[in-house]
Amino acid sequence: MKISVLGCGRWGTFLAWYSSQVGHKVKIWGRKDSTKFLELSTKRQNQYLALPENLDLTNSLENALSFGETIIISISTQGFRSLCKKIESFQVSDKTFILCMKGIETTTGKRLTQIFREEIHTKNEVAVWLGPGHVQDFVNRKPNVMLLGSENIETTKFLVEQFKSKLIRFYYGQDMIGNEIGAASKNVMGIAAGMLDGLKLSNLKGALMARGIREISRLIRVMGGNELTAYGLSHLGDYEATLFSSHSHNRKFGESLVLGKKFDKLAEGVPTLQGLMILSKNYEVELPICQAVHSIIFEKQNPKKVLKNLFIRSIKFEF
């Protein structure tokens, strides 16, 4: 199968590398003014991996879209709508799209598949590829379990067959609301975990995990999804890679913030927080952990005071 990967960051480059490893013809697209694309096109490697010889690069979006039968997208969530508007101007009605980002739109609280359907008006099959795993582990042949899901089970099964390997075992995902919200919000929990690490309150990460899942399960339920999805691979399953891993950008961001250190890499949980606050208001559901992290980042409240108060709230039943 011919695959085009839109996005040449850490995860997009890995997905191109992985797709090539499992036998597909692959082309990776990046903006010509992108330093990451320039590095890949000149050195054919980044700090994580080297590109195989049969993997092509292009800075022409038209070329990438015409090449791939399946289009994998891995870019910043907040740039997704803009990219969709550009994709809409090309002939893509016969393409299957796989969205491999974990976030929601800052200004609207919209999920990625919602944005796709709003901006691209052909009836494409759209799937999400979510779950735990870091590039650093995969390139060292450390296996993990992930999730592929779409609204069409036959599409899901087809994609799993195309991408499965000994390195990644896939489960079928069916709850698009739950999986997309779960994947996005786990990044916020990762920021909270990093803050606890930085404040030497890592002993509270167990409580954060337990209460975080309950919080997000409530949101998923009122949005029309299956609350049990929060306990699956897209949310709880990704906690190890997000709340504990030294590779996690979101955890590192939270830790750096409370320690007053600069962190210059993308932490998707930050813009996601603003979208979650919109959903909290629109669906009238309380999100105390998300609200606490939001108050620290955007309202400059004292992290130690906010987080201690969060876990010493009024007594209530657990369930």
Whether 116 and 97 have beta carbons less than 8 Å apart is answered as: yes
Contact 180, 268 (CB under 8 A): no
Quote the strand ranges of the chain, DSSP E. Answer: 2-6, 25-29, 56-58, 70-73, 96-99, 125-130, 144-150, 168-173
Which tokens belong to 150? 């779409």
Of 186, 200, 261, 304, the active-site residue reads 186
Sign of CA dihedral 63, 68, 110, 193: negative
Run of H or E including 185: helix 176-198
Please give the Cα distance from 58 to 16 (Å, whole number): 13
Q: Produce one character per residue of 211-239: b if its CB has 16 or more CB atoms within 10 Å, e if not.
A: bbbebbbbbbbebebbbebbbbbbbbbbb
Query: Is there a contact between 191 and 268 (Cβ–Cβ < 8 Å)?
Result: no
Which residue in 234, 241, 197, 235 sits closest to 214, CA to CA?
235
The 3-state secondary structure of 293-305, one letter per residue: HHHHHHCCCCHHH
Q: Among candidates 8, 87, 82, which has minimal Cα distance to 49? A: 8
In the residue annotation, 186 being an active-site residue is answered as yes
Q: At which residue do the structure tokens 């092509």 appear?
A: 56
For 294, half-sphere exposure in the C-beta direction (CA atoms, 13 angstrom radius) is 16
Residues annotated as part of the active site: 186
